[in-house]
Amino acid sequence: MKGRVLIIAGSDSGGGAGIQADIKTVTSLGGFAMTAITALTAQNTEGVHGIYDVPPNFIKEQISVVLDDIGADVVKIGMLHNTDVIATVSSTLSDIAQEVPVVLDPVMVAKGGELLLEDTALHALKTLLIPRATLLTPNVVEAEALTGRRIICTNDLILAGEDLIEMGSETVLMKGGHIDGSTVIDILISTSSREVFKNIRINTRHTHGTGCTLASACATGIAQGLSMSDAVKRGNDYVQEAIRTAPGFGRGHGPLNHGYATGG
C-alpha cells in the first residue's frame, strides 16, 4: 500500500459520493485513505435530504491528530459547505501541512441539484483555498460560479481554466462533462501547458460521485509519485470504467463501481 491521502470532505450516507466514494477510490488504487469529515448528509440516489455540519474545531482536531501521527502525501479536499469550515481547513493546513500537495474539488452542487456550498462561502473558497491548490478539479457549473464566465464549448473551458490559474491554483483540470456532445473533453491546464483528455460519453444515469471519485483518483496518483499528467490519465481511465460497470443501484443517479479494479 503506497500513498497516504488525507480526505477532508462530507459524508454521503448513500455511499456513492463524498467520503465514502473517496475511501473506495483511494483503496482500490492502492493508496491509504484517512479522513476528516466536514458534514454529514442524509442522501441517496434521488438527492440530498439533509445536512448536519460538523463543528469547525472538531474538523481541525481530526486533521491535526491524523497528520501528527500518520502524515500525508496528499490532502484531498471536497465538500466544505460554509465559510467557517473553509477558514478552519485553510488555517490548519497552513499551520501544519504547508508543504503537502492539495487536490481541491470545489464541491458546490449535488448531482440532484441541491446546494452543498453556502453562497456566502464562495469568496472564502476563492481566496483561501484555490491559491493553496496543487490541482483544482471544477466541473462546468463550478467553474462558471468561480470565474463568472459562461461555459458552452471547449474554448470556454480553456479560458475559465486560465482564470483559475490566475487565482493561484498550480494546475486546473477543467471537466467538460456538462458540455453537450458524444465525446467528453477534460483539459489539464498549467501556466505552461495544456493537455486534453477525451472519452466517449457513456449514456447512463449512474454517474453519482464522478467528481469526488476523479479528484480522489488523481490525489492517489500524486501521493504515489506519478506525474500530474499520469495521475490524471489513470484517474480518468478509472472513472470511465467505474461508470461503465456501475451496479445500477437506486431510483435516481446511481453510484459507480469503485471496486472494479479489485474484482468488485
Catalytic machinery residues: 175, 207, 209-212
Complete DSSP assignment for 126-187: IIIIGGG-SEE---HHHHHHHH-----SHHHHHHHHHHHHHTT-SEEEEE-TTS-SSEEEEE
Going from the C-alpha of 58 to that of each of 38, 53, 189, 205, 233, the distances in angstroms are: 9, 11, 35, 36, 35
CB 74, CB 93: distance < 8 Å: no
Whole-angstrom CA distances from 150 to 91, 115, 137, 183 are 32, 19, 17, 20
How far is it, in rounded angstroms, from Cα 66 to Cα 161?
A: 32
Q: Measuring CA to CA, which residue among 54, 113, 119, 121 is closest to residue 82?
A: 121
